[in-house]
Amino acid sequence: MQDQPFRVIVIGAGPAGLYLARALGAAKIDYVVLERASSAFLERGNHLLIFPHTVRLLHQIGLYDEAKKRSYKLSGKIDMTKSGYVLSDYSMWHLLQERHGYPTLPIQRYDVLEMLYKSIPSREQRIKTGAKAISIKETDQGVEVELEDGTTETGSVVIGADGVHGITKKYIEEAVSKTATESTDTRWLDIPTTSQYCSIYAEGTNTKKIPSGIFYETRDTGRAIQLGADNDMLRVIMYKRLPQQMSGSVSYTAEQMEEFAEALFDMAVAPGVTLGEIWPDFHKHTARLVNQNEGFTKHWHTGRVVITGDASVCTSSVNGLGVNCGLHSAVALANQLQKAVSSLAGNPSTESLREAFARYQHIRGGELQAIYNQAYSSMRQLTWDSWKDWFIDRFLRRWIGSDFLVRKYLNPLICKGQILSYVPFEDVPAPLPWRRTPEASANEDKKSEPLVVGQAQ
C-alpha cells in the first residue's frame, strides 16, 4: 500500500460525508464515498438551520448562491407557551447577519445533500450508493472495507461519517478496547449515546397562511414544537420526552408517529393556530419519527480509521447546530489530512496519521464540548424538564434578552468557525473578524491552478 496513491474511503454520504468529498477533491486526495442507501439524497422531512459560519463554508466551495436559492429569508423568532401566548418576539437572525456578513439559511436536508452531491466532479464514480459496509480491516499499510455484496474497497484511511450507530464507531470502540490500557486522559467527555426525547420531522402545505420567515418555538412540560413557514410550505419539528431513557437504534411505525402527533394537537404552532389544525396538511410519506440521540465519544480514531460528525459527538437538534457541527468537524479533519499528505513525498505512516487524527480531535473536541453542554441544557429548558429549567426559559431568558444571548454565545461560536486552510476565497465583509482564514489569500498566486471546483452542474 505504501507504493499506491493515498486513498480515503469515506463511509456515509450525509452532509459531512459529501462535504468531505469536496474538501478531499480540493486537496487533490483520491477518495471514494460509500453510502448504504439507494440514493445520496433521499427525500426526508428534516429541516436544517445553516448558521453564518457554515454558510461561509458553502461559499468557500462555490455553493453560496445555490444555497440561497434553495432557502428563504428569516425575519424573526417568536417564543410561545402551548396556549399561543407570546413570550418573546425578536430578530436574532438580523443581528447575526449584521455582525458576520452571512445570513442564517433555513433549508431542507435533502436540498443540502443534492446541492453537495451535484457539485462533485465524477460523482457517479466517486459516490457509490447501495454500498453497505459490513467490516473494516486495518493494517500498518492500509485499510480494507468489505461490502455486503461481497466486494471490497481498499485504501489508506477510513473516515466514518456514518452516524451514531454506524460501523466505523463500533470498529474503533472494539479496537481501542482490545489494545488500550485504562486511559488516564480526562480531556474528553465519554458519554454513551442515549435518547431521552423523540421527534417528528415533517413538511407540509401552509393552508393557514402562517407568516413566512418567522421561526416559532412553543414550549410545555415534556414537549415542544419548532415551526418555520416559507410562503406555501411549512416545516416542523416536534419534541416529546420518552417514558424512559433508550439506547441503540429504534424504528417507529406510521401508527406510532400518528399517536405522537396527536399528543401535541392542543399546542399552538403560531398565534391562533394549533398543531391539530395543520397536521392533516403535512406530507406523511416523508415525515419521520426518530429518537433524539445525545452522546460524546471519547475515542475518535485508531491509526488509520477516524470518525466525524454525529459518530463522534451527537447533540439534539433543538438548537439547530447539529449539521453545522458536522460540517465544521469534516473541515477540521480535511485540513489535518491535507497537511499530512502534502508534507511528504510518499504516503504518511500510520503514526503520522495517528498524530494528524489526534490534532483533529484536539481542535474539535474542546469546541464541541461547549456546544454539547449548551444543546443538552437547551433541550431541557425548552421542555421545562425541571423547575429550574422552567424558570430559566420562562423568565431568566426574557430578562437577559436575545441581544445579550447572541453576543455571549452565538457570536463567539460563529467567529471560531472552521475553514479549509488550503482553499483561497474572498469572504463577505463583516464587522466581526473570523478567527480562522485560509492560509493562502484569494489574491495570491493568481497563476496557480485553482483548487475549488466550480458551481453545481
Tens digit of each residue's pLDDT (9 = 90 or more) over 305-336: 999 999 999 999 998 889 999 999 999 999 99
- Write out the DSSP string of 183-218: ----SS--EEEEEEEEEEEEEEE-TT-PPTTEEEEE
What residues have CB less than 8 Å from 287, skipping those under 6 apart? 45, 200, 201, 202, 203, 257
Residues 241/256, Cβ–Cβ less than 8 Å: no
- When pLDDT is cut at 50, 70 and 90, the band that residue 449 belongs to is very low
Phi/psi at 395 (5° precision): -125, -50
C-alpha span between 378 and 319 (Å, rounded): 7
What residues have CB less than 8 Å from 431, skipping those under 6 apart? 98, 99
Mean pLDDT of 58-64: 97
- Write out the DSSP string of 339-373: HHHHTSSSPPPHHHHHHHHHHHHHHHHHHHHHHHH
Tens digit of each residue's pLDDT (9 = 90 or more) over 187-228: 677 889 999 999 999 999 999 999 999 999 999 999 999 999
> Which residues does the annotation mark as catalytic?
226
Among candidates 289, 241, 265, 245, which has minimal Cα distance to 389? 241
C-alpha span between 376 and 369 (Å, rounded): 11
- What cell numbers appear for 35 in the block? 453510502
C-alpha span between 13 and 32 (Å, rounded): 10
Among candidates 48, 45, 47, which has minimal Cα distance to 202? 45
C-alpha span between 346 and 55 (Å, rounded): 35
Task: Give the residue ranges of DSSP H helices in 244-321.
Answer: 254-262, 275-278
Mean per-residue pLDDT over the chain, rounded: 90
Query: Full-prediction pTM beyond 0.85?
Result: yes
